[in-house]
Amino acid sequence: MGPDPAVAAVRHAVRGALATLPPGAMVLAACSGGADSLALAGALAFEAPRSGHAAGAVTIDHGLQDGSDVRADAVVRLLTGLGLDPVGSVAVSVGAEGGMENAARNARYAALDEVAQRLDASAILLGHTRDDQSETVLLGLARGSGTRSLSGMRSSFTRTRSPSERMATVLYKRPLLEIGRATVRKGCLAMGLEPWDDPHNDDPAYTRVRVRHEVLPVLEKALGPGVTEALARTARMLRDDADALDDMAAAAYADLTASEPAGPTGEGDEPRALVTLRLDGLGDLPRAVRTRVLRMAAVEAGSPPGTLAAVHVDAVDRLVTAWRGQRHVDLPGGLRAFRRYGRLLFGPA
């Protein structure tokens, strides 16, 4: 008799993720002790020896609740009992920039990056489910985000630890992204694992919690069942579109910056350029491609991606398509975009 269907679904997803990684490589599960990440860790402990991979786990102590260190120690013992090795916890300090959710996420990923580099891990597995994906899409809709944001979370992505370590990248994979949260929880319990239910996951002070417990149930009631699956399916289709547009934008960016002089040096009253784009050809690009090129240029010049918003990119776009002599556009990170002699330049304010 085979395993419970929910267990089989989770294991199959993890098996597929491992199949894309080098044989013998170290793989880590990021585990909070909740049902999703605990089921992920249990499946990894089962599948890794069968695929020839080393498997460990790490839990992050955000320090946001009393006794969080005790909880982290309990998760470490549970993960060790699964046969994962190495296993450890990392305490992080959560700031306030961008709100608690964003600050906690940034601290968590920074810690995971460091652990992956230190242990030479080939990948870190995350326990996000299809329900998390649908919530992400709804949050993007509420913010009026573009195609990339509405395409939700990627099934895999890489992070660069710091600008000075361009090659120090960490691979993350989300094997459970096509599986519903209820199925994953059922799989966790069927494995004999007792999850910890984080009270923050039911705190309406968090936007995602309100989407989960208030918005999605209303949509299901008004529109019928299947809303979660439909949102996740929409994300997959939009991701294909966003990937194609990003590829087109990358090619256009390379062409518009190719063989271009470095730009003004900053001598006298002339502004200094860190990135230069030729206006010839830029204005002819479709808007969806052009705005991506402009965003690439701003980020390359040093504008923080997390604070560079659509309103900034739109203002820069008007320097290209609706220029009426305006001097410049201020950008996050102490930068400006300005137009000079048939070029669009990005440099310090």
Find the helix packing angle between 5-19 and 181-190, rounded to 10°: 100
The token duo for 343 is: 């070029």
pLDDT > 60? residue 162? no
Domains of the chain: 5-237 (3.40.50.620), 259-348 (3.30.465.60)
pLDDT band at 341 (very low <50, low <70, confident <90, very high): confident
Sheet of 156-160, strands arranged across: 87-91, 54-61, 26-30, 123-125, 169-173, 156-160
**pLDDT score for 259:** 54
- Reduced 3-state DSSP string for 157-169: EEEECCCCCCCCE
State pLDDT tens for residues 82-140.
999 999 999 988 877 667 777 888 889 999 999 999 999 999 999 999 999 999 999 88
Question: At residue 287, does pLDDT exceed 90?
Answer: yes
pTM for the model = 0.81
User: Whose structure tokens read 């694992």?
Assistant: 193
